[in-house]
Structure 1
Amino acid sequence: MNIKKSIVTRVRLAFLAICLFAFAIIYKVGYIQFKDGDRWREIANEKRFHYQPLPATRGNIYSDDDRIMATSLPFYRVAFDPTIAKEDVFDKGVDSLAIYLAQFFGDRSENYYRQKIKNARAAGRRYVRLNGQLINYQDKKLMNQWPIFRAGKNKGGVIFEKIDRRFLPFGSLARRTIGFINEDKNGAGLEYSFNRHLAGKDGEALFERMAGGNKPINDGTEVKPMPGFDIQTTIDINLQDVAESALRRALTINDAAHGCVILMEVSTGRIKAIANLGRAGEGVYVEDYNYAVGNQGRTEPGSTFKLASMMALLEETDLTLEDSVDTGVGSARIGGAVKTDTHGYGKITLQEVFEKSSNVGVAKLIQETFEKDPQKYVDYLHKFGLHQPLGFQMNGEAIPFIKTPKDKSWSRPSLSTMAIGYELKISPLQTLAFYNAVANNGVKVQPIIVKSIKRADDVLEQFEAKVLNPKICSEETLVQLKAMMEGVVENGTGKNVRSKDYKVAGKTGTARKVINGKYTRTYSTSFVGYFPADQPKYSCIVIIDSPRKNAQYGGDVAAPVFRELADKAYAQDLAIHKPMVRRPAGVHPKIPVLHAGSQEDITLLCNKLGVSAHPENPSEDWVRVDTNRHSVSLKPIKINDLQVPDVSDMTLRDALALLGNRGLKVRAIGLGRVESQSIPPGEPIQKGNIITITLSKHGATRKPATGTPANAIARAR
C-alpha cells in the first residue's frame, strides 16, 4: 500500500512539474510576443530585408576598326508576384498565361504552371520563379504582352531579373587574347588585365528574402550601377583570322604540340594579330594558353638568337660581312663543347654564316671575340634589353633568363652555347621586339595591344608605344644586320617566304627541346622577320613547337605561316605597295572584266594585273566597278543588315556570302554572274526565306532585280 501511494505521489509531482514548465513556455511566448514583440519584429525585418549589389554592365572590347570583339548581352530570369494582380485580372488571365508559359519553355505542362501560380497566390507567396531558363531581350518584350504580365510590374506582378552574359561576336577568334574573368576575379587576357576599366562600378538595391529567391524592393533607395569603360585594341580582325587559320593548318599538317603567331607594326608597336593554339586532341587545336607572351612560351630560341650575337660581334669588332671564318666539315669543339652544322661549309663569309645559320661559324666568332671577358658579351645582351620584360599591357608576361658568368650554372661552354640561342630563355614577344628594333632603324619600342580606353565616342585614355631604347646599336651595324636578314630569304634558309611582290628580311630557327634535363630530337621551329624589307611596315614571328611529321626546320614548318600572313597584310595595305611604273604613251593595261563583289578581292586582282583601282571608300566591304581605258573605280554598295542586298553582277561565291550571312537560304540557277534575284533589293529580310538567284555568263543588265517573293517560292515547293 505504501508503494502504491509513493508511485501516485511521484506521478503527481511529475505532472505538476510538466504543468509548471508548460506555463513557463506560454508565459515566455506571451512575453516575447507582446512585451518584446517590436524589438524582435525589427530584427526579423533586418534579416528579411537586405541590400545586395547590382552588377554593372561590363564594357566592350573593340578591334582596331571598332568592330566588337566582346560585349555583354542582357538576359533575364522570369519571376512573378501572384498576389499583386486584382482578382478579375488574375482569374481572367491565369489559364492563358499558363498556356503561354508551357508553350514557350516547353518543359512543363500548362496544368503545372496553372497550379504553381494558383497555389502561390493562395499561400500569399510574393515571389515565384517561374522557370530557371534565361530569356533574351526580345523574349522579354514578347512576354510583356502576355495576360496578367501586360498589366506591368506594379499591377501585374511580373519580375524580370537582369543577368549579363559575355558574348564574343567572332566566336573563338582571338579568344585567348580576349580572355576571361571568373567570379573570384581571377582570369587571363584582356578581360583580366583591364578588369578595373571594364568592370564598372556595381550599384546596390534592397531585396526581400523569400522562398525560392530574393525579390527586389523598389523603394527609391537603390543606387544604379555605372557601366564599365570600353577598350579599343590594336587587333585587325581580318589579319587575326588569317593568322589563326594559317597557324591551325600548319599545326595540323605537322602534328605539332602548340604554336603562336604575332604580327606587329614596326614603328608604332601595335600588335595587329596574335594567335595561340595548343593541341587538345588528335588534329584538334584550341587557344589554351598565351604562348606568345607567358612563361610556357618562354624557351631557348635557338638560331633566331644569332641576330643578337651578330649584333654584339659587329659592335665589338671591325669585322665586315665579307670577312670569313672557317667552319670546317660541319663539326668543331668550341669552348669545350662540340657544335655541329647540318652540312660542312668550309671557309665562308659572315654573310653566309648567317644565311646558312651555321652554329659552328657563330659560336666560333663569339668565342674568339669574348672568350677573355664573357661578361662583355652578356653586357651587350643587357644593352639590347634582352634581360628584362617589355612591360606588356597584358598580365603574365614571362621574365627573360639571360645567364651571366656569376651564375652557378655557368660553365666553360656557356659562352659559345648562348651564342647560338641555348642556355637562355626568352618569349616570342621579346624576340619579336628585338627584331622589330632592327627594322625600326634601331629604335626599340614597347609592343602594345590596347590603344585607348573609351566611353562611347569619348576617348578617356590613349596609349602609345614607349621607346625602350632610342638606339639599340650603331648605324653601321644596322646596315649589315639588315643585309644579313635579307640574304637569309634570298639565298639562305628562309627561301620559303620569298615573294616577287615585296622583299622580306628575317631569320629561321630550329631549337632542340630539353626533356627531363636532356636535349632531344624534338624541336621548336620558328621564323621571325619584317616586310617590306626596303621600307619595313610589319614585323612578325611564328613558332611551331614539336612538329612530329617529316619537316623539322623553321624554314619548312614556320616560314609558310609567315608568308601567308605577310601576303594578306601586304594585299590589304595599299600604302606599302610599290608605285606603278609609268607606261609609254598609248600603251594601257588590259582592263579585266569586273562587275561587283568583295573590294578586297577586286583590289588584289587589280594589283596583280597592274591596273589602277580607285576606291571611293576603302573601308567598305562590297563594291561595284566602273571601268574606263586606264583604271577602274570602286563604288561602295550600301548594305543594310535588315534589308535584302543587291547582288546583281556578283559571282556565286560573293552572292552566297552576302545573302547567307543574313539568314537567307539561297537557290542558284545557271552559271556565271548574278543576273536577277527573286527578292528585290531593299525588301525586309525574313530569316530562313528562300531567295533564288539566276546566273548567266553576261551578268546583270543593271536593271533592278525583280522576281517572285521568297515566301511564294517556299509555298510552291
Structure 2
Amino acid sequence: MDGIFKRIALIFKIFIIIAIAAIMKVAYVQFINPTEVSASDIAYREEVIEATRGDILSSDGRPLAMSVPYYEIRMDCLAPNKDTFEKYVDALSRKLSEFFGNKSAAQYKSQLLKARRDTLRYERIGNRLVDYSELEQIRQFPILKLGVNRGGLIVNQKNRRNNPYGRLAYRTIGFINTQGVGVGIEGTCDYYLKGTPGRQIVQRVLGGEWIPVNGAESVPPKDGYDIQTTLDIEIQEVAENALKKQLLKDAGIEGATALVMEVETGAIRAIVNMKKDGRGGFDESYNYAIGSASEPGSVFKLVSLVCMLEDGYVTLDTPVNTENGMWRHAGHVYTDTHPIGTVTVAKALEQSSNVAFAKLIYEHYADNESAFVDRIQNMKVGERFNLDIQGEARAVIYSPEDKMWSSSTITSMAIGYAVLVTPLHLLTFYNAIANDGRMMKPYFIENYRQNGETVKKFKPVEVSGAICSKNTARTARAALRGVVKNGTGRGTDSPNFEIAGKTGTSRISFGGKYGYEKNGYRRYQASFAGFFPANDPKYSAIVVLYSGETKGNFYGATWALPAFREIAEYIYSTSPEWKRELDGSMAVAQDAPSFSTGRADEQRTVLSELEIAGKKNAMASIAKGGWIKIKADSSHSLVAERYEIESDSLADVTGMGLKDALYILENQGFKVKFNGYGRVAEQKPAPGSSIKRGATVNLILENYETE
C-alpha cells in the first residue's frame, strides 16, 4: 500500500513541477522577453485594405489622372473537393498555360498538385496582374468558375495610376514615386486623393500565406476625393503645341514654359513646362513656371513703369534722353540695340530702352533707394502665394540693407536684372494690371469631389489691397498696347482682336567667375507677357524660352511672341463669349433634360437636384447601384435602365463622358485613343464587336450642350 501512495505522490510532484514551469514560461514571455513570440506563432492579424485613389480632373471633368483596377489571382487549392480537382485539374492547367503563357500545361499541373499536397490555401496563379475583362475570362475556367468556396478562386484588386492624356501637363499633375514622395497635384493633394484604408481580419494558413477570414467583421475603405483642376484641356494642348513649334526650330533651345491665367479670377487654364531630355526631345520633367526664379529682363520694365506712374514721377509723355544708346553708371555700361535719341516714356517702353529706364529709376529713386524697393514689395511682385501645388520658388528682391546691394543694383533692377522672379510671379503682376490693379492669387484647384458631388469648393482670392490705382493700371495697359502696336511686339495682333504686352530678353548667368559670358558663349531667356483683348482683358499669358550656350542673339519677339499669339488666337476663336452669333436655327431644348450612361452614384447626385416627371422611379432603379442609362420616354418622363457590360464583346460607351468610357474600355483590356471633347459621339470598332484584348478603340467626342 505504501508503494502505491509513493507512486501517486511522485506523479503529483511531477504535475506540480510541469505546472510551475508552464507558469514561469508564460510569465517570461509576457513580462521579461515578450518579443520572443515570433510572427509565425500568430494565427490572425488585421490587414489594411487599399482605398481607390481619387481622379485628377480637368476644369470640365475629364480625367487627367485616374486609378485603373487590376487584379492578382490566387487559389485556395483545398477548396475544390477531391473528385472535382482530379477531374478538371488538367483542363484548368491548359487554360492557365494558354492565358498567361509563362508555363506549360504540365508545369501548371505540377504547381497545382504540389500546392494541394502542401495544403496551400493562397497559391499565386500567373505571372502578372490582369484587367477586368481578363478576370471575367478567368472566372469561366474549369474549377475556378465554381467560385470562392467550391472553386478556390481568390481575387485581390490592385490599382494602377493612368494618365489618359499622356504627358499633357504631367509636371503639374505630378506623381508619387516609389519612395512615396509626391510632386505636383498628386503630391500636394495626396491626403485627399488617397482616401482612408479599410481593415479586415486575415488568417495565416499552411505555406505562410494570409487569407481573409470569411464572416469576420471588416471596415470597408473610403475612396479618395476626385480633384477638379482649373486646367482647360484644349487650351493646354494648344499651348503645348505652340511651344513645341518654337522648340523644334532651334536645336540650341533647352526648355520653355507657358502659362495662361483668367484675368478676373486668377484661375490657371494652362501650364506647360518643356525641358530637353537626353534623346534630344522635350518632356514635362521640370517646372520652370513656378519652380525656376531667374532675372526676367525687359518684361520687368513694366514694374519700373508702374512704380514711377504710381509715385507721380512720370507720365507716358515725359521725355527722356537715351544718350545715343549708351549710358555709363557706377562702372556699368547700359546699352540699347539701336540709338533712339530723346523719346517719351511710352516710346522708351515700346522700344525697350535699357538706357531710358535705368536713367529714369536712378533719377527718381537714387536719393531714396528704399522707396523703389518698398514700392515693388507693396505691389506684391515677389509675393509668396502658398500655391495649391508644390514646388513654388521664392522670389529674390534685394533691399539696400542686403550685403548684395551695390551702387548699380537699383539701375540693374530697373531693367530686370539683380532681381529673381518666376514666370508665375510676372504673369500674376501683368494679370493685375489687366484687372485694374486687383491682384488675384493664382490657383490650380477648383474643388474636391466624391461620387460626382462637390465636397469642398475653392473660390478666387484677391491678394490683399490693390497694387496700384485704376488710373495707373489703365495707363500701363495703354503703354503695353503701344508695345504691340508700334514697338518690339509689332505684328502680334490678330485681325479679330488686340493684344497688349511686353517682350523680354535677358542673359542667364553662368555663375561663379564667368558671369553672363563664358568663352564667348551666352545663354538667354526670351519672353513675352501680356493679355487680351487689350480693351477688355479676359486672359493673360506668359511664354518663356531658355536657350543653351550660343554666340547668337535670342529675342523674345522672335521666339516667345509667336507662341503667345497662337495661344491667344485659339482662345479667342473658341470662347463662347467672343463667338459671332450663328445664323439659322438651332435645335431647341427638349422638355426633359439630356442624360447619358454613367455610374449610379453620380447619376443619383444630378437627378436629385431636378424636379421632373418619373424622377421617383428613376431614383429607385439607381439605388441598386452599378451602371445606369437614363433617358426620356415619349411622354418626357425619365426612365432608368440597367446597363450591363458584356465581357466577351466591345462595350457600348456612346453618350458617356470620357472618364467612364476609359474606365470601362481599359477594364475590358483595350487601348483607347480619342479626339474632340464632350461625350462619346462615335466609337470604332462598333459596340458589340469581337476584337482581341490590346486592340485600339477610337472615340470621337462631341459637346452635346447647346448655347
What TM-score comes out, normalization by structure 1 length? 0.76
Distance in 2 separating the partners of 1:180 and 1:394: 12
Distance in 2 separating the partners of 1:299 and 1:541: 14
Residues 552 and 680 (structure 1), Cα distance of their counterparts in 2 relative to 1, 3 Å cut: closer
Residues 348 and 281 (structure 1), Cα distance of their counterparts in 2 relative to 1, 3 Å cut: same
Query: Which structure is larger by alpha-carbon Rg, 1 or 2?
Result: 1
Q: 2:565 aligns with which of 563, 566, 571?
A: 563
Unaligned runs of 5+ in 1: 1-26, 581-605, 621-639, 647-660, 665-678, 691-717
Q: What is the number of residues matched between the two proteins?
A: 581
The equivalent residue for 1:86 is: 81
Distance in 2 separating the partners of 1:685 and 1:510: 57
The equivalent residue for 1:233 is: 229
Distance in 2 separating the partners of 1:322 and 1:680: 63
Say which SS state the counterpart of residue 393 (structure 1) adopts.
Answer: coil
Say which SS state the counterpart of residue 278 (structure 1) adopts.
Answer: strand
Say which SS state the counterpart of residue 311 (structure 1) adopts.
Answer: helix
Q: Which amino acid in structure 1 is aligned with residue 280 of structure 2?
A: G
Q: 2:238 aligns with which of 234, 237, 242?
A: 242
Distance in 2 separating the partners of 1:479 and 1:258: 33
Q: 1:207 aligns with which of 202, 208, 217?
A: 202
Residues 340 and 43 (structure 1), Cα distance of their counterparts in 2 relative to 1, 3 Å cut: closer
Per-residue deviation, residues 317-340 of structure 1 (Å, max 9, x unmatched): 242212211102211113442111
The equivalent residue for 1:285 is: 282
The equivalent residue for 1:275 is: 272
Q: Which amino acid in structure 2 is aligned with residue 382 of structure 1?
A: Q
The equivalent residue for 1:177 is: 172
The equivalent residue for 1:158 is: 153
Q: Could you tell me how far 1:684 is from its partner in structure 2?
A: 3.9
Q: Could you tell me how far 1:211 is from its partner in structure 2?
A: 3.8
- Please say which of residues 517-526 and 359-368 is displaced more in the overlay: 517-526
Distance in 2 separating the partners of 1:148 and 1:37: 50
Distance in 2 separating the partners of 1:261 and 1:204: 45
The equivalent residue for 1:266 is: 263
Distance in 1 separating the partners of 2:42 and 2:651: 51
Distance in 2 separating the partners of 1:433 and 1:612: 41
The equivalent residue for 2:543 is: 542
Per-residue deviation, residues 354-413 of structure 1 (Å, max 9, x unmatched): 011111011110000000000000010011012321221112211111000000110000
Q: 1:129 aligns with which of 124, 136, 139?
A: 124
Per-residue deviation, residues 410-437 of structure 1 (Å, max 9, x unmatched): 0000000011111110111111000000
Residues 217 and 681 (structure 1), Cα distance of their counterparts in 2 relative to 1, 3 Å cut: closer
Per-residue deviation, residues 51-104 of structure 1 (Å, max 9, x unmatched): 221111101111111111111111111111111111111112111110110001
1:509 aligns with 2:504: yes
1:450 aligns with 2:445: yes
Say which SS state the counterpart of residue 93 (structure 2) adopts.
Answer: helix
8 Å Cα contact 1:662/1:687 also seen in 2 = no
List aligned pairs for 1:19-418, cutoff 5 A. Answer: 47-209=42-204, 211=207, 213-255=209-251, 256-294=253-291, 297-418=292-413
Q: Could you tell me how far 1:254 is from its partner in structure 2?
A: 2.5
Residues 86 and 429 (structure 1), Cα distance of their counterparts in 2 relative to 1, 3 Å cut: same
Q: Which amino acid in structure 1 is aligned with residue 258 of structure 2?
A: V
The equivalent residue for 2:602 is: none
Q: Which amino acid in structure 2 is aligned with residue 545 of structure 1?
A: Y
Say which SS state the counterpart of residue 207 (structure 1) adopts.
Answer: strand
| RMSD of Structure 2 on Structure 1 (CA) | 3.1
Q: Could you tell me how far 1:42 is from its partner in structure 2?
A: 9.2
8 Å Cα contact 1:663/1:687 also seen in 2 = no
The equivalent residue for 1:583 is: none
Residues 72 and 35 (structure 1), Cα distance of their counterparts in 2 relative to 1, 3 Å cut: same
Per-residue deviation, residues 513-548 of structure 1 (Å, max 9, x unmatched): 100230132101111100111111110011101156
Residues 293 and 613 (structure 1), Cα distance of their counterparts in 2 relative to 1, 3 Å cut: farther
8 Å Cα contact 1:260/1:542 also seen in 2 = yes
Q: Could you tell me how far 1:222 is from its partner in structure 2?
A: 2.3
Residues 680 and 557 (structure 1), Cα distance of their counterparts in 2 relative to 1, 3 Å cut: closer
Distance in 2 separating the partners of 1:293 and 1:144: 49
The equivalent residue for 2:527 is: 526
Q: Could you tell me how far 1:223 is from its partner in structure 2?
A: 1.8
8 Å Cα contact 1:643/1:681 also seen in 2 = no
Per-residue deviation, residues 242-272 of structure 1 (Å, max 9, x unmatched): 1112222222223311111111110011111
The equivalent residue for 1:597 is: none
Per-residue deviation, residues 275-327 of structure 1 (Å, max 9, x unmatched): 11111035311111211111xx1111111111010000111224221221110
Say which SS state the counterpart of residue 254 (structure 1) adopts.
Answer: coil
Say which SS state the counterpart of residue 495 (structure 1) adopts.
Answer: coil
Residues 681 and 184 (structure 1), Cα distance of their counterparts in 2 relative to 1, 3 Å cut: closer
Kindly, what percent of the aligned residue pairs are identical?
36
Q: Could you tell me how far 1:127 is from its partner in structure 2?
A: 2.1
Using CA pairs below 8 Å that are at least 6 residues apart, which structure has the higher relative contact order? 2
8 Å Cα contact 1:334/1:367 also seen in 2 = no
